[in-house]
Amino acid sequence: MTETAGETGTQALVLRQAAVAYDRTPVLEGIDGVVEAGESVALIGPNGAGKSTLLKAILGLVPVVRGSITVLGGPPAAARRQVAYVPQADTLDAEFPVTAGQVALMGRYPHVGWVRRPGRADRLAAAAALEEVGLADHARERFGTLSGGQRQRVLLARAIAQQARLLLLDEPFNGIDAASEELLLAALRRLRGTGAAVVVSTHDLALAHLFCDEVCLLNRHQFGFGPVATTLTPELLRATYGGHALQLRGDSVILAQP
Amino acid sequence: MTRLLIEPFQVGFMQRALLAVLLLGVLAGAVGVFVVLRRLAFVGDALTHTVFPGVVIAFLAGQSIFLGALAAGLASALLLTVLTANRRVTADAALAILLTSFFAVGVVLVSRLQSYTADLSAFLFGRVLAVDPSELAQTGLVAAVVLATLVVLRKELLLRAFDPDGAAAMGYRVDLLDLVLNVLIALVVVAAVKAVGTVLVIALIVVPAATARLLTDRVASMVALACGLGALGGWLGLAVSYDVSIQRGVRLASGATIVVILVGFFVVALATGPARRALARRRDSVGVRSPRGGAR
């Protein structure tokens, strides 16, 4: 129904020497790599490295000034309906009067279209998505009253309801409880099983090892893109982070699997 | 009670005034919900001031005040959207500059008039008792346009208010949605110019919606409450100002009386908040509900 003409292979995301800029001067350069359907890639780099900017470029919200970014076989802006962006839960207004169920339902908006209201099928999809992240019992509770981890799961439910084929997650594991992290990872694994590709920006190297096939090391330009085992090396990490301290949670992980 | 609430409205000008404040109450209440959710009260305030020079220019040129307000309102809504989207000028500075400069132009123009003080106060505070049938029709037209737009775009405006990045990621034009809301606010100001003036209309927009927010956690109920409170405050304000003026011989400005009553609602909602929440908690623990926090 929504398939585009050029969409033949299984490549969810193709980056070809892409440079991204808000004005003229690129904030990110030389981004090059491929994410296949069902794969997961971690964007790793210090604060201000351009991880969020890259996510925005994949959404078509920041222009690509050199090279190219191809999303699901087409230009980024054309694929938005099938690309879900999952923001950090604590960037959203906790006082806003919406329930968890309503937030999940927002994932259906791109499918519902302008003017029309979400129908029964949309409500069922939103309810199923909440179930998927273990929050079926919380649908009627206000979003802001949930814990940080639960809110992050609601936002993932919104992405699931959107039935996206590429998910972009911005630091989803920052400051959330272990139980929520487990549920998030389990839901993401099931999504990958259905062929969805996942791009996740994170500081958490252990998590990249645990969950991702590939990593993209970023700090203004790309320091490496490839399989976790061969790319997440102490040398490349040191190059990426420069003199800055690494934010590790289990630093032995890197050393144990060089 | 009948004497206070019904009797004043047996004469034509009072009926027109009542109709005008009921319309405005519903209109401002509905738009106000989005203003409060977006935390745009200050933006709304700026728009109320920027409409002012349009009113004055139209008055000086002998043109329809409604059209003057409309032109100024649309122009300032556009300017405001562009300025607040600019990364180099902070939003609050842009607002303050726009608000004061437009307002100053209006005051400069009014000061050339003979009847300076009387005209200024009419523009700023309105004369609801002097609303004529054609002005009432204009208010009705604006109300229809604004409410229809809100109905059509409610889910998009709500998504944008809750999660602007998410809305943009889904492909919505956030800048256009912002322009739409700014134009709606400007239209409410335009509709309210004659009845309550350009200054007090911000109270009509913000206070009922803020009160409704205290009373409910649901957007749909919030809209219903804000519209209801806005209309009720308009009715009570008119009745009280009429009663005091006629029975006690103390002149009370109708527009300002309405605002005082609306703020009264807000204070009551704020003061009874703890008691209402305690009551809700007790109902919660008595009623059968699904287990909470099961996943944690």
DSSP letter string, B92-126: HHHHHHHHHHHHHHHHHHHTTSTTHHHHHHHHHH-
Residues of B in Cβ contact (< 8 Å) with A54? none
ipTM above 0.90, yes or no: no
Q: What chain A residue is nearest to B293 in terms of C-alpha separation?
A: A138
- What is the pLDDT at residue B50? 87
d(CA B127, CA B192): 10
- What is the pLDDT at residue A161? 95
Whose structure tokens read 């206000």? A142
Evaluate whether residue B87 is within a structural domain: yes
**pTM (2 d.p.):** 0.86
**What is the bridge-based pairing of β-strands A11-21 and A26-36?**
antiparallel
Residue B295 — pLDDT band, cuts 50, 70, 90? very low
* Residue of B161 and B127 predicted with greater confidence: B161
Evaluate whether residue B294 is within a structural domain: no
> Are A158 and A84 within 8 A, CB to CB?
yes
pLDDT, one tens digit per residue, over B23-61 is 999 999 999 999 999 988 888 888 888 888 888 888 888
Mean pLDDT of B249-271: 90
- What is the pLDDT at residue A143? 95
- What is the pLDDT at residue B296? 34
The residues facing A15 across adjacent strands are: A33, A69
Yes or no, beta carbons of B295 and A150 under 8 Å apart: yes
Residues of B in Cβ contact (< 8 Å) with A58? none
- What is the pLDDT at residue A243? 59
State how far residue B291 is from chain A, nearest Cα, in angstroms: 7
Statement: residue B242 has pLDDT above 50 = yes
- What is the pLDDT at residue A3? 42
- What is the pLDDT at residue B52? 85
The residues facing A18 across adjacent strands are: A31
Evaluate whether residue B292 is within a structural domain: no
- What is the pLDDT at residue B292? 44
Q: What chain B residue is nearest to A116 in terms of C-alpha separation?
A: B152
Q: What chain A residue is nearest to B214 in terms of C-alpha separation?
A: A97
Yes or no, beta carbons of A109 and B156 under 8 Å apart: yes
> Are A101 and A152 within 8 A, CB to CB?
no
- Give the domain extent around B160: 2-286
Task: Out of A206-210, A233-237, B86-90, B255-259, pick the least confident.
Answer: B86-90
Query: B238: domain CATH number?
Result: 1.10.3470.10
Yes or no, beta carbons of B296 and A134 under 8 Å apart: no
Mean pLDDT for chain B overall: 86
Statement: residue B5 has pLDDT above 60 = yes
Evaluate whether residue B291 is within a structural domain: no
d(CA A138, CA A25): 46
Q: Which of A80, A177, A180 is nearest residue B169 as measured by Cβ atoms?
A: A80
- What is the pLDDT at residue A81? 87
* Residue of A15 and B76 predicted with greater confidence: A15
Task: Out of A47-51, B79-83, B116-120, B239-243, pick the least confident.
Answer: B116-120
d(CA B105, CA B88): 25
Residue B293 — pLDDT band, cuts 50, 70, 90? very low
Yes or no, beta carbons of A80 and B170 under 8 Å apart: yes
State how far residue B73 is from chain A, nearest Cα, in angstroms: 25
Superfamily of domain A11-256: P-loop containing nucleotide triphosphate hydrolases (3.40.50.300)
SS3 A253: helix
- What is the pLDDT at residue B83? 80
Residue whose C-alpha is closest to residue B56's, from B12, B107, B99 = B107
State how far residue A108 is from chain B, nearest Cα, in angstroms: 10
SS3 B42: helix
Task: Out of A95-109, A117-131, B104-118, B128-142, pick the least confident.
Answer: B104-118
- Of these ranges, A81-90, B52-61, B73-82, B105-114, the one predicted with the greatest mean pLDDT is A81-90
- What is the pLDDT at residue A5? 40
Q: Which residues of chain A have pLDDT under 70?
A: 1-9, 243-258
Q: What chain B residue is nearest to A56 in terms of C-alpha separation?
A: B169
* Residue of B123 and B79 predicted with greater confidence: B79
- What is the pLDDT at residue B85? 75
| H helices present in B111-218, as ranges | 116-125, 133-162, 164-169, 174-215
Residues of A in Cβ contact (< 8 Å) with B218? 97, 99
State how far residue B52 is from chain A, nearest Cα, in angstroms: 32
- Quote the number of domains for chain B: 1
State how far residue B267 is from chain A, nearest Cα, in angstroms: 20
